[in-house]
Chain A
Amino acid sequence: MDFENTFRIVLIGLEYFFLIFSILIISSYVILAYFSSRETKTYLKKNNFVEYKDLLSSKISPSISIIAPAFNESLNIVENVRSLLSIHYVNYNVIIVNDGSKDDSLEKLIAAYSLIKVDYFIHNKIKTQPLRKGVFKSKNPAFDKLIVIDKENGGKADALNFGINISQSKYLACIDVDCLLLEDSLQRMVKPFLDTNDKKVIASGGVIRIANSCKIENGKLIEINFPKKWIERAQVLEYLRSFLLGRMAWARLNGLLVISGAFGMFDREIAIKVGGYDTNTVGEDMEIIVRMRRYMEETKQKYKVAYIPDPLCWTEAPDNYKIFISQRNRWTRGTIETLKIHKKIGLNPKYGILGMLSFPYWFIFERLAPIVEVAGIVYFVLLVVFREINWSFVLGIFLIAYLFSLIFSFVAIFSEELTYRQYKKKGIGLILVLTIILEPLILHPFVLYAAIKGNIDYYFNKNKKWGVMTRKGLSKK
């Protein structure tokens, strides 16, 4: 009798836990959506008449280094570099770090840009793998902005650190070499650094858009198309939700914990002070932001991590489930590693919003959410097996969860339609609605599976690192 009572109390406790968790997560989304809409509105109001072109001719425009690590990118590297060299900014250089590629990336670059090896003294402010063939610059003055480094393989973080060591610019734009940056992307990304006096802007991030199916010629985005495959479409929706609702809101609260590795800009001095990217984590993009923020909090300096909602960077998203799962698995491991490295921050009032809000949020709603969700599913299955289920009740609860998820997707789409309107073509409206309806069924289960697999790999498969991210290349579309 006692055991039965205890068991019943445990079950009731579990049910209340799931209920409270669901209410909290839904409430957090509502709050984030509210803050996000206010931030987007403010941003557009303040920036719709800004004259960015003044930066192009100014003698005091700050210097920026674009650092792009490349590993076996032979297929598109020449075009990708051409695209980076055609960005509209006055004072920048492009540092391509060939991270021990086994293909002919370097040879292609040497041939395409008339590169020659140069003497270059590199002060290893951040420890990295050594040079392999050396540092290359172009003989052709048209490409004098380009520096190519060929080094031993050390992973993306190590390659970025090498780029940081070689850069002499005030700001660093760290990007994936296969990303497509719009011509005015540097002008827009650097603005928060220049337009803030009361705080030091340590980093700025931008919205990443999915370029699958878009028409790209000579490294320029010619036509925006909605992807053809459902997995890609669902990711477009997911990115819109994440970037336009989530991150925009966190920017308003100055609580951003992550800037996408695809395109982010950093204050070089602070990036070096904190020791650059961590080469021991697969979530180096999140980790460096947390570490920079931690440094600023610990040294009691006022700071900000800025966020630009303009669609400045377009990237290729996985077009099959295998690669998608591998990518999300890595993201999960990266999140776990970062939260573990910086666990001291969690609920520590010394770290302000970072410790009391951002960190706990990420821990509960990003780190634990998939585990709680799977626990809920297991609990439900057990109930089905061992107890009589009120199916009408269960169906109602499932529908509420499902419909809520649709509402948030709609809010993200409205946010897009009222601001940037990138998907204007006829017929996309219907596809968007279908994507919203199908996304929880065709993408979310795989997100969940990848997150659980990421947890398992983190605890039981420590040797697993980046995984494979096969790309087809944007310009071949």
Chain B
Amino acid sequence: MDTFWLEYIIWMIVVILALIITFFILMLKILRYHNKLKDSKILTYKNETEHLLIEYLYSAKKGLNFSNCQLDIIKKLKNDVLNKQKRKVITAVFVNLIQEVSGELIDSMRELYEEIGLLYCTEKNLESNQSNLIALAIRDLRRFKIKKVEKKIDKFINHPRKEVRREAHLYFIQLFKLKGLENLKKLKLPLTEWDQIQLLNELKNFNSLELPDISNWLKLENDYVLIFILNVIKIFNRIDAKEELLDLLNHQNSDIRVKVIDLLDHFEITEANPKLKERYNNLTHKEKSVFFNLIEKTATIEDTSFLKKFVYQETFEIKFKALKILKGINQKEYNLISKESRNIESNEIIHFLNSSYGF
């Protein structure tokens, strides 16, 4: 009797699984068919929308708010925006096209964006609980250069999700330039390297001279923003805050100190060299490495005794740099080391430096 029930259960499971698989086969068929249909509908609708949009842009009549043709297009698009799928397509077409037009056409597109209700939908998404929808909404508002929602976006600059924060800061920098950049001062949370790349990309459109006094920025408490500003200084070659920069060599965050030494190297500033030599043993490996880059550019014969300390010790990288610099600034001392050296690694480096032009 027991076996009967066990068998019964097993075969029941088999039947259920077989039914599930039959259902899956049908589902797969339907899904693939649906996807194909959706692709084709989207493509048709996309072409149609592009056509309508171009027609709209070129059917404006002077003296009139909207021409009859434009009114018809607005009416149609207004209806279509109510459909989620169509709304997505319209937004995508708008976003693509706005990057390809200029001048009055951008204003005209922005007007249409508002008129057909897309702006309303985008603003609605700012109230969503889903962070990806908020980020997308901010991105659209940025691309359409909608400045009037500034206050609504302001509350996202310290949003717990980084993608939302990133979009909010991009919005401010792209639309409000220097004033927008000031919002970074309010940032209490981290900036990732990815954020920095995106923000710096926006800043590329600035003129170096437009940038305000950098020195204030170097006193900020958010280390991430500080690193970002150090990147800005390098990219824009803004060396007007040298004193503040030198003060940062005492910063407790080693990443910031590394960035500062890297900047000193970039601008070939030698003021800090004695101080850095003095505290050399307390520097991190990265600091030592960038410091040697700085010495490489600025070394004089006076640096010989300092460099000699490292030709047998320290890591390979430092040894290599020390010997290379020494060869450049004091050939006599270098030749002496070449003869006396018993250190295998140093000898290999010397051999390489003597027999090649380096690479």
Contacts and interface: CB of A to CB of B under 8 A. Distances in A.
Contacts of A120: 359
Interface in A136-191: 191
User: Could you say which interface size class chain B belongs to?
Assistant: 35 or more
A364 to B, nearest CB: 24
Contacts of B320: 121, 123
A261 B355 CA distance: 37
B235 A59 contact: yes
Given A417-B32, A424-B36, A399 B194 contact: no
B352 A121 contact: yes
A1 interface: no
A404 B16 CA distance: 11
B257 interface: no
B359 A121 contact: yes
B3 A195 contact: no
A397 B25 CA distance: 22
Contacts of A198: 190
Nearest to B130: A45
Contact of B31 (A57, A397, A406, A417): A417
A60 B197 contact: yes
Given A120-B359, A417-B28, A404 B17 contact: yes
A429 interface: yes
Nearest to B31: A417
A431 to B, nearest CB: 11
A51 interface: yes
A392 B10 CA distance: 10
A426 B24 CA distance: 18
Contacts of B47: none
B200 interface: yes
A112 interface: no
A51 B193 contact: no
Contacts of B46: none
Interface stretch (B50-58, B78-86, B131-139, B175-183): B131-139
B192 A195 contact: yes
B197 A54 contact: yes
A424 B43 CA distance: 15
A413 interface: yes
B359 A57 contact: no
Given A54-B198, A393-B6, A410-B24, A400 B17 contact: yes
B241 interface: no
A46 B136 CA distance: 10
Interface in A41-66: 45-46, 48-49, 51, 54-55, 57-62
Interface of B: 3, 6-7, 10-11, 13-14, 17-18, 20-21, 24-25, 27-29, 31-32, 35-36, 39, 130, 132, 135-136, 139, 162-163, 190, 192-198, 200-201, 204, 224, 231, 234-235, 316-317, 320, 348-349, 352, 355-359
Interface of A: 45-46, 48-49, 51, 54-55, 57-62, 118-121, 123, 125, 191, 193-198, 390, 392-393, 396-397, 399-400, 403-404, 406-407, 410, 413-414, 417-418, 421, 424, 426, 429, 432-433
Top 10 A-B pairs ranked by shortest CB distance? A119-B356, A396-B10, A403-B17, A194-B193, A195-B194, A45-B132, A194-B194, A121-B352, A410-B24, A54-B201
